[in-house]
Chain A
Amino acid sequence: AQSVSQHNHHVILSEAASLELGCNYSYGGTVNLFWYVQYPGQHLQLLLKYFSGDPLVKGIKGFEAEFIKSKFSFNLRKPSVQWSDTAEYFCAVNGFYYSSASKIIFGSGTRLSIRP
């Protein structure tokens, strides 16, 4: 079965600090990988996604993620965070050849708090 692990439940950073949020998944086949963000009081929004090709994926708002197949990882990075990045971040995976449907499996989330 597919699963997603996010190692950090709560990360606190100061503005301008660099960010890396860990994500590991378990699935033996080809995968699609996603990072979603949920700002306070808002709905889940897609930050970036990886389907194939260049393992370094650029997303919105200066975020990027690197797919490392050998490590089953898809860590999210941002070189310099802003106060407005305060949100909950979810890593998610979808097995490309999953039999029946487009079931996306989410991690438990990482809460990011930025000190102004």
Chain B
Amino acid sequence: GAGVSQSPRYKVAKRGQDVALRCDPISGHVSLFWYQQALGQGPEFLTYFQNEAQLDKSGLPSDRFFAERPEGSVSTLKIQRTQQEDSAVYLCASSLAGRTGSSGNTIYFGEGSWLTVV
């Protein structure tokens, strides 16, 4: 597709429910990132994939958060036993190459999945 696509755009979950958020990156993009953006805050890094390999998951806030990208394209962020503090916008981003240090390597963001836990 033309851009990074995320679904669902909006999700309301009851506390304790599991949710799965999908990201379809730009075709051919090697790198994929997940960020969490709470209301009034900047995006916070969650995890990073290069192709199917999860190279950095240091930002995942707890073991309830799990991300995968099994075939190196579509990625899913799963949150188990959701809590109210998980309410946020979850942003997916992708880039062509493996490092933003490359001068031509720009990260493109999706519109986000808005999660509200009630």
Contacts and interface: CB of A to CB of B under 8 A. Distances in A.
B74 interface: no
Interface stretch (A68-76, A78-86, A97-105): A97-105
Given A51-B101, A101-B56, A106 B42 contact: yes
The A contact surface, by secondary structure, is: loop
A102 B42 contact: no
B48 A103 contact: yes
A106 B44 contact: yes
Interface string B32-49: 010100001111110010
A103 B45 CA distance: 7
Interface residues of B, number: 33
A43 interface: yes
A44 B101 contact: no
Contacts, number: 72
Interface of B: 3-4, 31, 33, 35, 40-45, 48, 50, 55-56, 58-59, 91, 93, 95, 98-101, 103, 105-112
25 contacts: A6-B42, A36-B109, A42-B111, A44-B93, A44-B109, A49-B106, A90-B43, A92-B42, A94-B101, A100-B55, A100-B56, A100-B58, A101-B50, A101-B99, A102-B101, A103-B58, A103-B59, A104-B33, A105-B45, A106-B35, A106-B42, A106-B43, A108-B42, A109-B41, A109-B42
